[in-house]
Amino acid sequence: MELKKISRYLIYLISLFIISLGASLSIKANLGTSPLICLPYVSSLIVKLSVGEVMFVFTIIFILIQVALLRGGFEKRQYLQLVIGTIFSAFVDFSMMLVNGINPVGYISQMTLLLLSCVVVAFGVLLEIQTEIVYLPADGVIVAISKVLKKEFSYVKPFVDSSMVILAAALSIIFLGYLAGVREGTIISAVIIGPIVKVLKSYLDPYIERIIE
């Protein structure tokens, strides 16, 4: 039983790293980042901090939002999001360092890298879902809103993602004077990552469950 728990947590940590790697690849593609990292990325450009450092700040903000929305209904184990968010933030900066030398030239190369980033993120999300450990802070906000509104997660997520993207676009125009981090790649990521997760799940589910079990 203890070995099973260790295996589950190890797979979860791997999933966080894979998601961070996919997010970093989307940044390097320079066609617009995914909704998950869009707002932290734009904010990092504004405040001149690393993406990971800004992600940590948003981790705290997202947890406070959840507590405010759910109050007594906020599960104590979800405070682990602070730990998970800190680890994920570190992974983002580490991943950015790993992909630093990747600089695609030409639109086709950029789009290829963007699509690759979507597959990488989708695979990480699949592993994260299968382990059922604790929500990433951004997903935790969506879960909290869905509970308050009594709506399905899948119904609320597009609205929250869209709000994040719109806010990121507004901040970039106001503070940077140009549109940063929000382009066609943002829309593509938002649309195709979910379906890619479903496709990967249909093929890889048995293998992932076997590893976790």
Query: Region 50-59: what's the mean pLDDT?
Result: 93
Rounded Cα–Cα distance for residues 29 and 169 (Å)? 18
Count of domains forming the chain: 1
Average pLDDT over residues 128-142: 82
Mean pLDDT over residues 187-205, rounded? Answer: 85
Domain region containing 125: 2-211
Question: Which of 155, 43, 20 lies closest to 94, judged by CA?
Answer: 20
The pLDDT value given to residue 118:
92
Please count the other Cβ atoms lying within 10 Å of the Cβ belonging to residue 147.
Answer: 16
The whole-angstrom separation of Cα 9 and Cα 15 is 10
- Establish how many alpha carbons lie within 13 A of residue 11's alpha carbon, considering only the half-sphere containing its beta carbon: 23
* Range in 56-60, 63-67, 201-205 the model is least confident about: 201-205
Highest mean pLDDT among 18-22, 125-129, 195-199 belongs to 18-22
**Residue 1 pLDDT > 60:** no
pLDDT at position 3 is 65
